[in-house]
Amino acid sequence: METYLLLKVLWWVLLGVLLMGLAIMVGMDMGVGTILRYVGRNDAERRVALNIVGPHWDGNQVWFILGGGAIFAAWPLIYATAFSGFYVVMLLLLWTMIVRPLGFEYRSKLPSPQWRSAWDWTLFVSGFVPMLVFGAAIGNLLQGVPFHFDWNLTSRYTGSFIELLNPFAILCGALSVAMSVWMGATMVMNRAEGAIRERAGRIGSWSGIAGLLLFTLGGFWVSRMQGYHLVQGPDPGLAQTPLRQVVERASGDWLANFRAHAILWLVPAATYAGLLAGLAALRKGASHLAWWLGALAWVGVIGTVGAAMFPFMMPSSSEPAHSLTVWNSSSSRYTLAWMLGFTLVFMPLILWYTSWAFWVMRGKVSTQRIESDEHAY
């Protein structure tokens, strides 16, 4: 029993790690897409910005795919309920995401300025919208989503899609966009020179300030919104469904974990530390450091949401007793154990070869290099 409990918590942590990986790596590429038209004023400059993430966007995107796969395998009820409940928004995310590979791959295949400009707009949309939706989805999880289950666990979403785009969700989406712009801007600074680097520094600073403000505002909002707490349910170490628990909601409940364990305040503090120190680093032009500090800030943002909600993962606003928690929505012990084994073997391997790929492609990207390479984006 205890091992099952431990596995559930471990997979909750691993899901967090995957979401962080997704936010940091995919967010970086999407941030570059979002600011592409700003940092690059002409075609040559835009190509520099694109080729900075060019060798890596495809590998990075797998964080997103793996995130989906891991939720499917380790948290099937959440995968089923969230993805179908968020249907229209999910399609928005999907459709904007699937034009991104084409934007990278096809944009520079033809010389026509209209062609390239059109793809630059798609790259903007496919950077901006997915990050907005990503943040908004997390915002909706914090507020609770209107769904309930039948006797056989058929999930039914009873809200409309427009209520998924409520003010708080938009605020979370904006925070996510700001953070992704930070990551994208610092990455562009790492590998570009001259005017592009300067513009990236400028928009990076603004995104950092916006991130700080939005995170603070969001924090106050969360501290006053209706949170959830588990009054009674089956033993956390047992296999269970979300049909037999008692859940109550009250304003300020999302701070309960912080009140119980003061050390958790370090998690949101990491966001502040990351962004404040990052802004200072950016002012000195230390963009590599600023990138890493931005990653720390992302860890703080996602960690804060996790710390506030634990053990909830997807609370139901219409039928709180059907809320999905770490205890009632995970896969079986056997599956979690196997998946953990694969993760322990392959995750270090992935980190190793991803860093190797970044190391191979290190150094500045210049316009001359791009023009001499027929494969360049």
Partner 1 sequence: MIDNTVVELSRWQFAATALYHFLFVPLTLGLSFLLAAMETVYVTTGRDIYRRMAHFWGKLFLINFALGVATGLTMEFQFGTNWSFYSSFVGDTFGAPLAIEGLMAFFMESTFVGLMVFGWERLTRAQHLIVTYLVALGSNLSAVWILVANGFMQDPQGAHFNPLTMRMELTSFADLIFNSDAQSKFVHTSIAGYVTAAMFVGGISAFYMLRGRHMELARRSFRMAALFGVLATAGVITLGDALGFVGGQAQPTKLAAMEALWKTEPAPMPFNVVAAPSQSARRNLWEIQVPAALSLLVTHTLDGTVPAVDELEQRAAERIRNGIPAVAALKRLAQDPADAQAMAQFRAHEKDLGYGFLVQRYAPGQDASKATPDAIERAARDTIPQVAPIFWSFRIMVGLGLLMLGYFILAVIYTLRNQVEHKRGFLRVALWSIPVPFIACEMGWLVAEIGRQPWTVYQILPTWMSASTHSVAYLAFSLTGFVVLYSIFIAIEMYLMVKAIRDGPDPDGPVDTVPPAEAAAGPGMAGAAMPFASRWEG
Interacting positions 150-169 with partner 1 (CB under 8 A) = 151-157
82 forms part of the interface with partner 1 (CB under 8 A): yes
Looking at residues 306 to 325 of the shown chain, list those that interact with partner 1 (rule: CB under 8 A): none
21 forms part of the interface with partner 1 (CB under 8 A): no
Looking at residues 277 to 306 of the shown chain, list those that interact with partner 1 (rule: CB under 8 A): none
Q: If we measure between CA atoms, which residue out of 170, 163, 86 comes closest to residue 128?
A: 170
**Alpha carbon 178 to its chain's center:** 12
> Which residue has tokens 């931005």?
294
Looking at residues 231 to 260 of the shown chain, list those that interact with partner 1 (rule: CB under 8 A): 239-241, 243
Query: Could you tell me the smallest distance in angstroms from the CB atom of residue 217 to partner 1?
Result: 31
Q: If we measure between CA atoms, which residue out of 21, 164, 16, 165 comes closest to residue 85?
A: 164
Residue with Cβ nearer partner 1 (154 or 262):
154
Residues touching partner 1, count (CB under 8 A): 76
324 exposed, middle or buried (CB, 10 Å; 0-12, 13-18, 19+)? Answer: buried
94 forms part of the interface with partner 1 (CB under 8 A): yes
DSSP element (H, E) containing 148: strand 147-149
Considering only residues 15, 74, 164, 296, which one is a binding residue for partner 1 as defined by CB under 8 A? Answer: 74
Query: Cα–Cα distance between 232 and 290 in angstroms, integer?
Result: 45
195-224 vs 43-53: helix crossing angle, rounded to 10: 60
Query: Could you tell me the smallest distance in angstroms from the CB atom of residue 107 to partner 1?
Result: 11
Residue with Cβ nearer partner 1 (251 or 355):
355
Considering only residues 109, 224, 283, 364, which one is a binding residue for partner 1 as defined by CB under 8 A? Answer: 109
Considering only residues 1, 13, 65, 231, which one is a binding residue for partner 1 as defined by CB under 8 A? Answer: 65
Query: Could you tell me the smallest distance in angstroms from the CB atom of residue 259 to partner 1?
Result: 33
371 forms part of the interface with partner 1 (CB under 8 A): no
Residue with Cβ nearer partner 1 (2 or 374):
374
17 forms part of the interface with partner 1 (CB under 8 A): no
373 forms part of the interface with partner 1 (CB under 8 A): yes
Among the listed ranges 184-192, 204-212, 283-291, 329-337, the one in contact with partner 1 (CB under 8 A) is 329-337
Residue type, 221: W
209 forms part of the interface with partner 1 (CB under 8 A): no
Query: Could you tell me the smallest distance in angstroms from the CB atom of residue 300 to partner 1?
Result: 25
| C-alpha count within 13 angstroms, C-beta hemisphere, residue 150 | 4
Q: Could you give the C-alpha distances from 190 to 52, 166, 181, in angstroms and in order?
A: 9, 36, 14
Q: Are strands 155-157 and 147-149 parallel, antiparallel or unpaired?
A: antiparallel
Determine the length of the chain. Answer: 377
Q: Are strands 226-232 and 155-157 parallel, antiparallel or unpaired?
A: unpaired
Considering only residues 27, 33, 40, 54, which one is a binding residue for partner 1 as defined by CB under 8 A? Answer: 54
Q: In sequence order, what DSSP letters do the residues of 222-250 get, joined into one string?
A: HHHSEEEEEEE-S-TTS---TTS-EEEEE
73 forms part of the interface with partner 1 (CB under 8 A): yes
